[in-house]
Amino acid sequence: MQSVSEEKIRELLKNVYDPELGVNIVDLGLIYDIEIKDGHVEITMTMTTPGCPMHNAIVGGVEHTLGAEEAIQSVHVEVVWNPPWTPDKMSEEAREQLGYF
């Protein structure tokens, strides 16, 4: 069985977008940690706000995107609020896209 790298997972997660902002969750800085063990992937992530109405859609997008990868047997997503998300976690590309300078 082939294995999957953290780099590959981050690449896949760039296909999951925050529908309200139109920016992928990696560039938004929502992914805090990725753990891989024997094809089982655990994602620790946050949302831009605790009451994010797109919470289920974004988590579902992560599970669906990673679950489609042959080398991944299971996906578990844990949403955390500490540390809280702030705009400084965004990539330069995301800042430019959203007009942060």
Domain ranges for the chain: 6-82
- Of residues 94 and 3, which shows the higher confidence score? 94
pLDDT score for 51: 85
pLDDT level of residue 88 (50, 70, 90 thresholds): very high
Residue 75's identity, in one-letter code, is V
**Mean pLDDT of the 51-56 span:** 87
**Mean pLDDT of the 61-80 span:** 96
Q: What is the pTM of this model?
A: 0.93
Instruction: State which CATH number among 3.30.450.40, 3.40.50.1100, 3.30.70.2190, 3.30.300.130 fits the domain covering 6-82.
Output: 3.30.300.130
Task: Check pLDDT > 90 for residue 30.
Answer: yes
**Is it true that the peptide bond before 83 is cis, omega within 30 degrees of 0?**
yes
Q: What is the DSSP letter of 80?
A: -
Task: Check pLDDT > 90 for residue 100.
Answer: no
CA distances (Å), origin 66, targets 2, 15, 23, 41: 14, 10, 18, 9
